[in-house]
Structure 1
Amino acid sequence: MENRTQAIAIVYLSGFLQGISLILYPAAGPIFTNPEFHGLSSSQYGVLFTPQIILAIVASFVAPGLAGRWGMKQVLRAGLTANLLSMALLTASHFAIGQGMLPFLLLMLGTAALGTGFGFTITAVNPYAYSYFPGKEASAVTGLHILLGLGTALSSVLVNFFLELGYWWGAGVLAGSLFLLLTLWMSRLPMPLPSEKTAPKPPSVWRAPARVWLFFLVIFLYGACEATFGNWAPIYLEKQAGLSLAGAA
């Protein structure tokens, strides 16, 4: 398989896996708040995703500068590695149950790593998809985000599958293993971006036109609504609607 084909596969698989990992924590919400598992309180669960939001924003802002210094491949590698760490921490939290605050702290570190991974990975895969299909850039990026959305849809199914088997943390092991394979795979490929040598320095975000700030606001409001529903809906379905842990997940 030629390098370009392999690079395309890595980019689109990265988007798909990012979608899966992004929703694994909310999908496992009923498990985290169940007294037989992590036993998180409502306030603990509510604050659990704060590091993810903060680190996703920070990673997205610093990624272009890092790409300009070390190349976009290293940004993508950092994103995949952070996602791998997040899945490892998610899995480790299960084996720390009964050790006081340790499961909660591991989950907090896990969501922080997930936010970092999301910010770096999404910042990298978008320009890669755009550059690999000249003349079909919009379709290429749309296809990437379709795979990202498909990953988010399958995440709950994955948690439910492993929960029915008796070890919900298998979802984290599987996702982490796939991130590891992708990281090793991309290490042997050059994966340069044509724009890395020709693109001018991007303008400061503070000088963006007013319509861009309006776009930012719309994205922020959408993200707030999606995160609120996605994070709390499984908890509601389990505690208020009476669904089983597997059904709520």
Structure 2
Amino acid sequence: MNSKIVTIVIVFLLAFFTGVNFVVFPALGTAFTDGSVFGLSSSQFGNLFIPQVVCIIISCLGAPFLVNKFGPKIILTAGLLLMILSTGILWMLQYFMQDKSLLFPVLMILVAFTGSGFGLSITTLNPLAASLFEDKKSSAILILQFLVGLGTSTSPLMMNLIGNVKNWMYVPGSIFILVTVIFIIFLFLKLEKGTFFELPSHFKIPYKLWIFFTAIILYGFIEGTFGSFGAVILKNQGLDNNKASLGLSLFWGGIAVNRLLFGIFSKRFNLSYVFLISPLLVGALIFLLLIDPGVHIILLMMFLIGFFMGSIFPGSIGWGTVEFPTLSVLVSGFLMAANQIGTGIVTNVLGSFSNYTDAIFQFLIFCMLAICALLFYLKRNSKIKEAF
């Protein structure tokens, strides 16, 4: 099964199912905190994601060197197996929930497996997708990240569809089956290691890559704020629970739509300046939220904030891949880790400040201005037009 088209289809399906698998634990939040099911406290549920973030950062930073040594197929296989193992054991917990004293430590281990598997998988999938489209590397990464995002929105939807929280086991059960099937098909693919995945024997991280790294940490602050605390912030703005949840969905929907459109149109049109000024547009939209424009305008703003944020992260990976072709896997892992560092920091810090909405917005505006300045600095003598 060596057809390039089949390989492309499987790689992009893996991206979607990696996204589905990644958010199975957050999607089951109501089951984990329900006293009649798992019975975790709110603080335990929050602490559950500390090992996930740590393991993602470690695996994203380690994956480039592992792929360089063992090739993309072995590392992708290891990442997928970790996620399958985690989801499978989670499904089996329904038979071993009598002794709840062991549940929390077991869940911590499973979340660590999921984080490690996600980091290894997505760090390898980004350059793998780029290698399949030699003249459209950035577009391939944008569409791949769109599919990951689409996958992350699927698990919560599955939880909504099953209705009763006591039926929680159908979510990990169905995900386990689907990911296992696509994994078995993937095993029949022949993936060459190729020069695309090799790192030079001696290299140092270019200073421009450190600037990308800094910009993506700042981006992670914004994504983490709206992604984790968006509903809380919107409730502070006067929205009811349903409208706040809708605002959060619109935010993620905006991100997904932008990545899809950028991936489709970036080779037909020069979108480099749209990419460069998008942080400014996000900053302006956040500023408008400061003046409390009314419920329907706030909801529109949430979609537009997500929309103009959409291309910043995967676009930076695509641009970095074009800019540093001999370090493509390192670019992917380095920037994936930067995003997790940003979201991890803000998620842990913001809990104490979630009621200070104006101060949060002002901080986010500063972050967006800084990102814009860093991107324009990187533009000098760069290959940005090749990327977009």
Q: Shift of residue 158 of structure 1?
A: 1.0
Instruction: Note the 1:238-249 alignment, pairs <5 A.
Output: none
Deviations 1:142-181 (A, max 9, x none): 1111111111112111122234496221111111122222
Letter in 2 for 1:160: N
SS of residue matched to 2:60: helix
Letter in 2 for 1:103: L
Q: Which residue of 2 aligns with 1:94?
A: 94
Deviations 1:4-63 (A, max 9, x none): 222212211111011112222111111100101101012211110111001101111111
Q: Which residue of 2 aligns with 1:189?
A: 189
Letter in 1 for 2:140: A
Question: Higher Cα Rg: structure 1 or 2?
Answer: 2
Percent of matched pairs sharing the same residue: 29
Q: Which residue of 1 aligns with 2:340?
A: none
SS of residue matched to 2:191: coil
Structure 2's unaligned 5+ residue stretches are 234-239, 243-388
SS of residue matched to 1:183: helix
Q: Which residue of 2 aligns with 1:15?
A: 15
TM-score, scaled to structure 2:
0.55
Q: Shift of residue 207 of structure 1?
A: 5.7
- Output the CA distance in 2 between the equivalents of 1:165 and 1:213: 40
Q: Which residue of 2 aligns with 1:118?
A: 118
Structure 1 segments, 4+ long, off by >6 Å, are 230-233
Q: Shift of residue 112 of structure 1?
A: 0.5
Which has the higher relative contact order, 1 or 2, with Cα contacts under 8 A spaced 6 or more apart?
1
**Number of residue pairs matched by the alignment:** 236
Instruction: Note the 1:142-157 alignment, pairs <5 A.
Output: 142-157=142-157
Letter in 2 for 1:190: K
SS of residue matched to 2:23: helix
> Which segment drifts farther, 155-164 or 54-63?
155-164
Instruction: Note the 1:1-249 alignment, pairs <5 A.
Output: 2-164=2-164, 167-196=167-196, 200-201=200-201, 203-205=203-205, 210-222=210-222, 224-225=224-225, 228-229=228-229
Deviations 1:195-235 (A, max 9, x none): 347653484459665523422422442453256338999xx
- Output the CA distance in 2 between the equivalents of 1:79 and 1:96: 26
Alignment root-mean-square deviation, CA: 2.8
For the Cα contact (< 8 Å) 2:71–2:197, is it kept in 1? no
Structure 1's unaligned 5+ residue stretches are 234-239, 243-249
- Output the CA distance in 2 between the equivalents of 1:154 and 1:127: 24
